[in-house]
Amino acid sequence: MVPYIVRRIFVMILMLTILSIVTFLLFNAVPTDPARLTCGKTCTPQIVAANRIRLGLDQPLITQYLEWIKGIFVGRTYGSGSATFECHTPCLGYSFRNGEEVTPMILKALPVTMYLALGAFLIWMVVGISAGIFAAKHQGKWQDRLVMSISLIGYSLPVFFVGLLLLIFVIVRWNFLPYPDYVSPFVNPVGFFQTMLLPWITLAILYAAYYARLTRSQMLETMGEDYIRSARAKGLPEKVVVRKHAFRAGLTPIVTSAGLDLAGLLGGAVITEYIFSLPGLGRLSIHAVTEYDLPTITATVLVAAVFVIVMNLVVDLLYAAIDPRVRLS
């Protein structure tokens, strides 16, 4: 187990290194002059040249990349002479568009996205898996058809449509909730819950529908196995058969999908955050793209990739605990 973890961590570091190179080169080798994007239309050639030096854009790309990597671990200094300023560790770049370091911007947006992703994840896992098990236990009956029909409708509806529908009716027309105005749960728990409830439901509708269908499929596949019939023949209660044998055996694909879906949301739920005005990573990424803020774009892409790669490692490690037939060697 330990050698496997060490190998996976090594591969993860290698993947992150390659990804950082590709991401950095992709957004810094664009035809547009990055220094020209650091100021408005009234920017003079002298200011552009000064900004190019301050950001280190006058150096070769390989030197810029090494300085960028160095900044992540030990920080870095921008500019020279009296115009120097420090970017503190971990330094993911400096946004001239916003006049601040990229790392504090990400750290400010990250908790919002984490609360959104984890809340929606909890709802869709509980609802989706429960609905899938319920449908599988009533295969072919009206309960099964009802659950699958509802899940099909939920899975077919786009996120932006569900979000706008909830926003218009629940908030604007019926006034059941105040208009979304994000506040930290440590400052105002009630206001936080009122703001996050509809975004959680918006994401949970789509994912719960998918997990209901996935769970039903896995349950039907495992419940036809010989060891399930043997467990029933021994007189085990149906709840034990379903929970300890059928569900656990079909859990591996569910965990795989759950890990990747959660990682994707942690990288930023762009549409949902934009609809409900949540200042998360997704909204930060949209603003960075529209403002051509290349340092922020590079940093948010790298952070999202880190979530995906780390969750892949976590999912692989969970396989052994879920399915004893899996041996990590």
The answer as to whether 100 is a domain residue is no
> Among positive and negative, which fits the CA dihedral 209, 212, 216, 217?
positive
Is 1 a residue whose pLDDT tops 70?
no
Give the pLDDT confidence of 308-321 residue by residue, as tens digits: 888 888 888 887 67
The answer as to whether 57 is a domain residue is yes
Instruction: Mark whether 215 and 265 lie in a shared domain.
Output: yes
Q: Tell me the pLDDT band of 234, cut-offs 50, 70 and 90.
A: confident
Pick from 51-60, 142-151, 159-168: least confident: 51-60
Instruction: Mark whether 181 and 290 lie in a shared domain.
Output: yes
The residue segments making up the domain with residue 58 are: 22-91
Residues 6+ apart with CB under 8 A from 24: 64, 65, 68, 298
Instruction: Mark whether 139 and 87 lie in a shared domain.
Output: no
Instruction: Mark whether 187 and 119 lie in a shared domain.
Output: yes
CB count within 10 Å of CB 121 equals: 19
Q: Tell me the pLDDT band of 116, cut-offs 50, 70 and 90.
A: very high
CATH number at residue 241: 1.10.3720.10
Residue that terminates a domain, selected from 62, 91, 120: 91
Structure tokens at 233: 């023949």
The answer as to whether 200 is a domain residue is yes
Pick from 202-211, 246-255, 317-326: least confident: 317-326
pTM exceeds 0.75, yes or no: yes
Q: Tell me the pLDDT band of 119, cut-offs 50, 70 and 90.
A: very high
Strand extents, DSSP E, 83-154: 85-87, 94-95, 100-101
* Cβ–Cβ < 8 Å for 212, 132: yes
The answer as to whether 7 is a domain residue is no
Is 151 a residue whose pLDDT tops 60?
yes
Is 196 a residue whose pLDDT tops 90?
yes
> What is the identity of the amino acid at 44?
T
Instruction: Mark whether 50 and 83 lie in a shared domain.
Output: yes
* Cβ–Cβ < 8 Å for 94, 293: no
Instruction: Mark whether 228 and 275 lie in a shared domain.
Output: yes
Instruction: Mark whether 174 and 239 lie in a shared domain.
Output: yes
Q: Look at the chain and count its residues.
A: 329
CB count within 10 Å of CB 74 equals: 11
- 85: β partners: 78
Q: Which of 21, 13, 10, 12 is nearest to 69 (CA)?
A: 21
- 101: β partners: 94
Average pLDDT over residues 184-188: 92
The answer as to whether 99 is a domain residue is no
* Cβ–Cβ < 8 Å for 298, 104: no
Give the pLDDT confidence of 14-42 residue by residue, as tens digits: 988 898 888 888 777 666 777 777 776 67
Q: How many Å apart are CA 63 and CA 139, to the nearest integer? A: 62
Residues 6+ apart with CB under 8 A from 95: 101, 102, 105, 288, 293, 295, 296
CB count within 10 Å of CB 149 equals: 10
The answer as to whether 153 is a domain residue is yes
Instruction: Mark whether 154 and 284 lie in a shared domain.
Output: yes
Percent of the chain surpassing pLDDT 90:
30
pLDDT, averaged across the chain:
85
Residue that terminates a domain, selected from 31, 59, 91: 91
The answer as to whether 8 is a domain residue is no
Instruction: Mark whether 150 and 26 lie in a shared domain.
Output: no
The answer as to whether 309 is a domain residue is yes
Instruction: Mark whether 216 and 111 lie in a shared domain.
Output: yes
Q: What domain count does the chain have?
A: 2
Place of tokens 């998360």: 280
- What is the bridge-based pairing of β-strands 76-78 and 100-101? unpaired
Instruction: Mark whether 219 and 115 lie in a shared domain.
Output: yes
Instruction: Mark whether 32 and 142 lie in a shared domain.
Output: no
